């Protein structure tokens, strides 16, 4: 009930926050989006409030599956077919440049200034812009973080690790002291999918290198990249991470940590809501820290995830569709989403200290500093190709089919060849 009251209060506060499009003709806007997970879906209430403030405009919500690959396939098929069957779409932020280059998105630059992006976290805003134009507005975001068992670190008089090497030492010390064969050291996402690429990128950045640098050079420092992959492989070989991590995604790694069976976990902010839920075995025993760096590299930084709102270029109601995007991405729209208690975190910096938002997520201010320094994955229309190309190579290095150096070398050659034909 508290979540419903918070959403109602946020919706009441929406009055007057956005001007309706002047002279807008009656229109029906179709909003395609991933299904909202959680005890209360705030989308219907937000859309009814938008309709109230925009007489003559009706918004029809059409949820998609939560699976990212299925969403991408749906959008590609329909947008490539030049369908105007939907107007506003919710996109994984890594798809924005791809869809913009394909000519599927409406250029929002005539309506949205760079100043309108300023209230958002820099990494989220960066994913909105491609080729000097604005193609979407940030709506929610994630950032990679390190969870740790605060009770265990306190028991052994340890501070959260600043480097991965220190994390390994701490995990080994705690496991030796606890003498619990079911207690793992550190869990992370090592399955061959996008989550693996994110984890590898974070190790690359912590080692002072990248998959794609500011000059669009692929794996510009292969030795450092191979060393980072080698470190990840070493976590498995040493037993600090269990072998099954190479098949682990977000939920497969979250659950054991949430059951008290690991010292550390690399994951996303949504997990903290579950760790602090009533009945959780680790409630009140979990700390949040920045991802570690590497001794011979740089400070750790988390990758960003999340969704952006965009408009179908073939919409018949551009003014109304853009108004809906700005409404949902605005401060009050994001506050209503956050206050609902669903597993979505806002992209607007000031909401991380907003009373209604913090009431729904008491630990949210802790993510503020981490999101400020978060780093986006390469903002390029070819990102999906980059990711699908390197996934099998990174996976092969982790399971020992290839050496890290071989995996990096092969990935580099393939990517350079493919990109040379696209640029």
263-287, pLDDT tens digit by residue?
Answer: 999 999 999 999 999 999 999 999 9
Length of the chain in terms of residues written: 423
Any idea which residue has 């910096």 for tokens? 349
Give the tokens for residue 242.
Answer: 């269990």
Position 36 confidence tier, pLDDT thresholds 50, 70, 90: confident
User: Residue 339: inside a domain, yes or no?
Assistant: yes
Percentage of residues of the chain with pLDDT beyond 70: 93
d(CA 236, CA 227): 15
Residue 90, pLDDT score: 96
Indicate whether 232 and 205 sit together in one domain.
yes
d(CA 158, CA 228): 25
Per-residue model confidence as pLDDT tens digits over 292-345: 999 888 899 999 999 999 999 999 999 999 999 999 999 989 998 888 877 789
Instruction: Please check whether residue 157 lies inside any domain of the structure.
Output: yes
Residue 19 has pLDDT above 70, yes or no: no
Q: What is the DSSP string of 56-97?
A: TEEEEEEEE-S-HHHHHHHHHHHHHTT--S-SEEEEEGGGHH
* pLDDT exceeds cutoff 50 at 352: yes
Mean pLDDT (the chain) is: 91
Q: Strand, coil or helix: what is 122?
A: helix
The answer to whether residue 223 scores a pLDDT higher than 90 is: yes
Name the pTM for this structure. 0.89
- Does position 148 have pLDDT exceeding 60, yes or no? yes
Q: What does the longest C-alpha to C-alpha distance in the chain come to?
A: 71
Residues 366, 325 within the same domain: yes
Q: What average pLDDT does range 148-175 have in this prediction?
A: 98
Q: Are 293 and 84 in contact (CB under 8 A)?
A: no
At residue 220 the predicted structure's pLDDT band, cuts being 50, 70 and 90, is very high
Residues 34, 50: Cα–Cα separation, whole Å: 19
State whether 29 and 120 are in the same domain: yes
Question: Do 106 and 241 belong to one domain?
Answer: no
Q: Do 215 and 241 fall into the same domain?
A: yes
Distance CA 295, CA 401 (A): 27
Evaluate if residue 1 carries a pLDDT over 80. Answer: no
Q: Which of the listed ranges 63-67, 155-159, 377-381 does the model predict with the highest average pLDDT?
A: 155-159
> Does residue 160 share a domain with residue 138?
no
In a domain, 294, yes or no: yes
Query: Mind listing the pLDDT tens digit for each residue in 199-218?
Result: 999 999 999 999 999 888 99
Q: What is the pLDDT of residues 54-92, one digit of tens each?
A: 999 999 999 998 778 889 999 999 999 887 889 999 999
Query: Counting Cβ atoms within 10 Å, is residue 277 exposed (0-12), middle (13-18) or buried (19+)?
Result: exposed
Name the one residue in this structure whose structure tokens are 């070398």: 409
Q: Strands 88-92 and 133-134, how do they pair?
A: unpaired
End-to-end CA distance of the chain: 54
Q: How far apart are CA 344 and CA 357, in angstroms?
A: 11
DSSP readout, 191-242? SSSHHHHHHHHHHHHHTT--SB-TT--BSS-HHHHHHHHHHHHHHHHTTSS-
Q: What kind and span of H or E run contains 398? A: helix 383-399
Pair of tokens at residue 393: 């190579």
pLDDT band at 420 (very low <50, low <70, confident <90, very high): confident
Instruction: Output the pLDDT for position 38.
Output: 58
Whether residues 325 and 238 fall in one domain: no
Report pLDDT for 340: 80
Instruction: Judge whether 117 lies within some domain.
Output: yes
- pLDDT in the model for residue 423: 65
pLDDT score of 369 more than 90? yes
Q: With left for phi above 0 and alpha for psi between -120 and 50, is residue 218 left, alpha or beta?
A: beta
What percent of the chain has pLDDT above 90?
81
Per-position DSSP letters for 13-39, written without gaps between them: HTTTSSPPPTTPPPEEEEEEEEPPPSS
Q: What is the pLDDT of residue 39?
A: 59
What is the total count of domains within the chain?
2
pLDDT of residue 332: 87
Tokens describing residue 94: 């890594």
DSSP for residue 279: T
How is residue 422 written in tokens? 């696209």
Helix (H, G, I), strand (E, B) or coil at 257: helix
Domain around 49: 2-142+304-372
Query: Are residues 93 and 190 both part of a single domain?
Result: no
Read off the pLDDT band of 12 (50, 70, 90): very low
> In this predicted model, what pLDDT tens digit does every residue of 409-418 receive, in sequence order?
999 999 999 9
377 within a domain of the structure (yes/no): no
Q: What is the pLDDT of residue 25?
A: 59
For residue range 131-146, list pLDDT tens digits in order. Answer: 999 999 999 999 999 9
Looking at the fold, whether 200 and 245 belong to one and the same domain comes out as yes
Residues 281, 171 share a domain? yes
Q: What is the DSSP secondary structure assignment for residue 324, as one 8-state letter?
A: H
Euclidean distance between CA atoms 117 and 222, whole angstroms: 35
CATH number assigned to the domain comprising residue 248: 3.40.190.10
Same domain for 239 and 206: yes
In angstroms, rounded to a whole number, what is the distance separating the alpha carbons of residues 304 and 154? 29
pLDDT bin (cut points 50, 70, 90) of residue 104 is: very high
Confidence check: pLDDT of 184 > 60: yes
| Residue 44: Cβ within 10 Å count | 11
| Cα 91 to Cα 265: distance, rounded to the nearest angstrom | 27
Which residue has better confidence, 7 or 287?
287
Q: Is 205 found in the same domain as 161?
A: yes
pLDDT of the residue at 143? 96
Q: What pLDDT sits at residue 181?
A: 94
- Residue 176 exposed, middle or buried by CB count within 10 Å (0-12, 13-18, 19+): exposed
pLDDT at 65: 82
* Site of tokens 């994951």: 267
Q: CB 130: neighbour CB atoms within 10 A?
A: 20
pLDDT, residue 185, reads 98
């Amino acid at each position: 009930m508290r979540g419903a009251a918070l959403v109602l209060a946020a919706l009441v506060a929406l009055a007057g926050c956005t001007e309706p499009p002047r002279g807008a003709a009656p229109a029906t806007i179709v909003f395609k989006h991933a299904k909202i997970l959680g005890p209360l879906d705030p989308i219907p209430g937000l859309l009814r409030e938008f309709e109230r403030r925009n007489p003559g405009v009706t918004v029809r919500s059409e949820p998609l599956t939560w699976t990212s690959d299925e969403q991408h396939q749906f959008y590609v098929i329909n947008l490539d077919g030049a369908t105007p069957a939907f107007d506003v779409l919710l996109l994984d932020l890594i798809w924005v440049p791809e869809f913009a280059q394909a000519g599927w998105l409406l250029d929002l630059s005539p309506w949205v200034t760079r100043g309108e992006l300023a209230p958002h976290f820099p990494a989220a805003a960066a994913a909105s812009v491609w080729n000097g134009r604005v193609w979407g507005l940030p709506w929610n975001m994630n950032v990679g973080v390190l969870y740790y068992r605060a009770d265990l670190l306190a028991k052994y008089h340890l501070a959260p690790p600043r480097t991965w090497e220190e994390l390994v030492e701490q995990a080994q010390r705690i496991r030796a002291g606890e003498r619990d064969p079911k207690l793992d050291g550190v869990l992370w996402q090592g399955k061959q999918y996008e989550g693996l690429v994110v984890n590898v990128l974070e190790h690359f950045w912590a080692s002072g290198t990248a998959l794609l640098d500011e000059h669009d050079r692929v794996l510009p420092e292969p030795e450092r990249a191979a060393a980072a992959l080698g470190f990840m492989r070493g976590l498995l070989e040493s037993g600090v991470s269990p072998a099954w991590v190479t098949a682990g995604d977000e939920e497969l790694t979250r659950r054991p940590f949430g059951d008290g069976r690991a010292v550390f976990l690399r994951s996303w902010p949504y997990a903290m809501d579950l760790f602090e839920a009533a009945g959780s075995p680790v409630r009140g025993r979990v700390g949040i820290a920045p991802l570690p760096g590497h001794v011979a590299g740089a400070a750790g930084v988390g990758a960003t995830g999340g969704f952006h709102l965009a408009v179908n270029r073939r919409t018949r109601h551009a003014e109304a569709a853009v108004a809906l995007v700005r409404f949902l991405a605005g401060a009050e729209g994001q506050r209503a989403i956050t206050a609902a208690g669903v597993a979505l975190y806002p992209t607007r910096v000031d909401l991380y200290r907003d009373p209604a938002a913090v009431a729904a997520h008491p630990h949210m201010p802790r993510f503020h500093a981490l999101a400020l320094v978060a780093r986006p994955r390469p903002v390029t229309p070819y990102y999906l190709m980059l990711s699908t190309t390197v996934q099998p190579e990174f996976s092969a290095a982790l399971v020992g089919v290839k050496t890290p150096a071989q995996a990096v070398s092969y990935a580099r050659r393939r990517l350079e060849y493919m990109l040379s034909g696209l640029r």
